[in-house]
Amino acid sequence: MSVDRNGGAAAGASAAGRRRLMLLVPLLVFVGLAGLFLMQLLSGRDVSAIPSALIGQPAPQTHLPVLDGSGLPGLDTADFAGKVTLLNVFASWCAPCREEHPVLLALAQDKRYRLAALNYKDKPENARRFLGELGNPFAAIGVDETGRTAIDWGVYGVPETFIVGKDGRIAYKHVGPLTPESVRSSLLPEIEKALAAPG
């Protein structure tokens, strides 16, 4: 019986080629993903910016009760009409909310717009203690104990800040804590645009 050495060698070479290819595929996938990541990184685009389908849409109808003991009104979208409103979503249990609070206190000094708050899934006594300790920059605070209203607003997590224009439409959304840099580079230019727009 004769053995076809050439056929056996070809089959062995073919199997070795398949093994090499199987080892090469994960490497090619990794290189491709690394290239995409590098392109995003070098594009200059703000990777923390999460697009919102609500930009340009009317603010969701919101009627939230007042934070007891705050001495302020609750949150009602009817109060947005004719003025620019910054709506900050915060909670006392949120560490980044504590970090951004001095920025909100500074923003509250500008009386061209109204700074309002949505208190997210918080205990009223904790929210009052938080504001009592750090200061209260808000003109109105609505309590969203269940988080249902935050879902309507498309909130990903706390803190988030929205700009609602004089026309009652959402003009801008900032995800994460506000910093002096993000206020200077992003938020203030968007506030100025909203203030300049017709009511």
Assign residue 119 the CATH number of its domain: 3.40.30.10
pLDDT of 130 higher than 60: yes
The reply to whether 106 and 31 lie within a common domain is no
Q: Does the residue 50 lie in any domain? A: no
The reply to whether 115 and 178 lie within a common domain is yes
5 versus 128: which is more confidently predicted?
A: 128
For residue 144, name the pLDDT band (cuts at 50, 70, 90): very high
pLDDT of 45 higher than 90: no
What are the two backbone dihedrals, phi and then psi, of residue 171, each rounded to the nearest 5 degrees?
Answer: -100, -25
Question: What range does the domain containing 96 cover?
Answer: 63-196
List C-alpha distances in Å: 29 to 17, 23, 25, 32, 33.
18, 11, 6, 5, 6
Q: In this predicted structure, what is the pLDDT of residue 8?
A: 57
The reply to whether 30 and 101 lie within a common domain is no
Of 58, 46, 54, 56, nearest in space to 155 by CA: 54
Q: Does the residue 56 lie in any domain? A: no
Instruction: Look up residue 79 and give its amino acid.
Output: D
Q: Does the residue 52 lie in any domain? A: no
Total domain count, the chain: 2
Q: Token pair for residue 186?
A: 């992003």
Q: Does the residue 55 lie in any domain? A: no
Percent of the chain past pLDDT 70, that is, above it, reads: 81
CB distance 122 to 97 below 8 Å: no
The reply to whether 100 and 8 lie within a common domain is no
For residue 23, name the pLDDT band (cuts at 50, 70, 90): confident
The reply to whether 41 and 67 lie within a common domain is no
